[in-house]
Every structure is written in structure tokens, then in C-alpha cells.
Structure 1
Amino acid sequence: MKIQLRRTACMRAMAFVMTLVASPAFAQQAIYQSPSLTPDAALKAARAALETCRKNGHQAAVSVNDRAGNALVMLRDRFAGPHTVDTAINKAYTAVTFKLDTTNFARYTQAGEAASAVRHLPRVVAIGGGIPIESAGSIVGSIGVSGAPGGDADEVCAKAGIAAIRDDLDF
């Protein structure tokens, strides 16, 4: 009889706990929403970056990627090298996936640093010119530029691209 009462009490307690866990107060949503850059904003940023590179005398490629690292827009100036396309896309990919501009990424992952091995991952480019794009405290995309002589010059163009859409972003 005592065993039967213990089983019944135990089963009631388990049922009570299951009711609590299944209640709306404890339930988690199955989906979430996150902001991402629109293709129109991406195109505006890419055009501004490309125009800045042209004004500075550089033939470059520009990629603006969404928050998942996928290219939304890619523009290549007619005399930019064939390697600049993949490099621009992957600079933007590196910036958004590591949530860090590629100039600092290069510094933090150089030989001898604890994170140096991440440079060997596919699509990771540790050269300046890739910058995350933020809006209202969230990373919504990134921009990558390749083709100017050095990562610093690429970064100037990338920053101009972000500046072109700054008023469209929430800060």
C-alpha cells in the first residue's frame, strides 16, 4: 500500500512538473527574427565603395554580404583583377562571421597568437578591407573590398560604402 501511494504521489509530482514546463511561461519560441541588410541598401553601399576606389585611382571589387555571410551584391570594376571578386566576398564573409573588421582580425590571428589557426578555415581572409555593418546594436551585414594597393586602401573604400547608408541604419 505504501509503495502504491509513493508511486501515485511521484506520478502526480511528475505530471505537475510537466504542466509547468509545458506552460507558456516556460515555453520558448520556435523562431526568432533578426534584422538584415536589404539588397537595395547593399547596392547603395557597394556603389559608394566602388566610386570611392575609382576616385582614389583603384580598380576594385566590392561585396556586400547579409548577416549570414552570403553575398547580396558584388560589383567589379572592369580592370579589377579576377582574384578580387572572391577576395572581396570572403573579406565580407570574414568580417560578418567573426564580427570584426578584417584589419583587426589579421592582427589578432597572426602567427604566434592563440587564434592563428582560424586563418586556415575556408573563406577566411585576414587582410584589411572587410567591415561588419551594424544597425541598432546588431550586425546586419558586411562589406568587403579588394583591389586597392593594400588592405588600408581597401578599408577606406569599405568605410565610404558604410557611410553612404549610415542614415538608413538605426544607431
Structure 2
Amino acid sequence: MTARITIAAAALLFGAGAAQAQVLQERNISLAAAVAIAQVAVEACAARNFNVTATVVDRAGLVRATLRGDRAGPHTVESSVRKAFTAASLRGPTSALQQATIDNPGARNLVHLPGVLPLGGGVPVRAGDEVIGGVGVGGAPSGQIDEECANAGIEAARDRLR
């Protein structure tokens, strides 16, 4: 009797699941767009005499491109990766997370998640309303400047993000 119930329950479970199963389609950032964003972000900061690293990650937070500008410190690589990951993962600018960790005691715990860095300079990359990646810039004297350079990279690649 128990075996029949188990088999019947499994048939219902798998039958219902199979009828509702579908293939997900997700857009993601291309290598060409990632390289273009990183290149322009580094150049935008260099034009202001700041030596930075820019990293672009895909929608899953995996690195697609990293460019370390001339004379950028070695620490800028890790900070740019973590800012890009944070922006893509949390689907918002890291400057907002930085402020949230100040204003909201609950948000302070996010800093304990691996890879999360709540400093300005990370921006999600969007195709329409969909987050398809993130860019992080590290090395300028403020997170605001890092973020401005990241946004310059995204804006320059806008035609590749459709």
C-alpha cells in the first residue's frame, strides 16, 4: 500500500513538473561589450589622471574582462572584481549598498558574503530592464569617481547592450 502511494505521489509530482517545465532564456553580456566597457572606464579615469582597474562580470558574477591601467596598484584588481560582482549580484550600484550599510543595521551583514564589497565604483550593466552583468572600477581616490568612470564605460558601449 505504501509503495503504491509513493509511486502515485511521484507520478503526480513529476507529471505536474514536466507539464510546467520550460527552458529559461537569459541575456548575458558579450565579451566584446565587456572589453569595450572596461577599456573606456580605464581611459575615462586615466584622462583625469587616476590609475585604475576595471572589471566586467556577466550576469552570474563571473569575470569577462579585466583591464589594469598603467601604474594602477595591485589592490585595484581585487577591488574592481568585487565591486563588479556586487553590482551584478545585488542588481544595483555599490554606492547604494555602501549607504545602506550605514543606514540599515540589517544590511551591514551583507559585507560578510563572499565577494561583496560595499564601496562606490560598481554599477550593474543593463540591457533594457534586465541586468546582464556588472562593472567595477577601483583605484581612483573616491568611489564616486570610480562610479563615474564605470558609467562612462557603460555609456560608450550602449549600442552593444541591446
* TM-score, scaled relative to structure 1: 0.83
Amino acid at match of 2:58: D
Q: Which amino acid aligns with 1:27?
A: Q
Does residue 28 of structure 2 align to residue 32 of structure 1? no
Structure 1 Cα separation of the partners of residues 68 and 48 of structure 2? 15
- Alpha-carbon separation, structure 2, partners of 1:47 and 1:77: 9
Matched AA of 1:126: P
Across the aligned residues of Structure 1 and Structure 2, the Cα RMSD in angstroms comes to 2.2
Percent of pairs identical after alignment? 37
Matching residue's letter, 1:26: A
Gaps of 5+ in 2: none
What is the TM-score of this pair, normalised by structure 2?
0.87
2:121 corresponds to 1:102: no
Instruction: Name which one, 1 or 2, has greater alpha-carbon Rg.
Output: 1
| Alignment length (residue pairs) | 156
Equivalences for 1:1-171 in 2 at 5 Å?
A: 22=15, 26-29=19-22, 31-110=23-102, 113-170=105-162
User: For structure 1, which runs of at least 5 residues remain unmatched after alignment?
Assistant: 1-10
Once the two structures are TM-superposed, the CA of residue 120 in structure 1 deviates from its matched residue by: 1.6
- Mark the CA change 1:24 to 1:40 in structure 2 (over 3 Å): closer, same or farther: same
| SS in structure 2 at match of 1:78 | coil
Letter of the 1:156 counterpart = E
Question: Partners in 2 of 1:133 and 1:96 — Cα distance?
Answer: 7
Paired letter, 1:77: G
DSSP 3-state at the match of 1:109:
helix
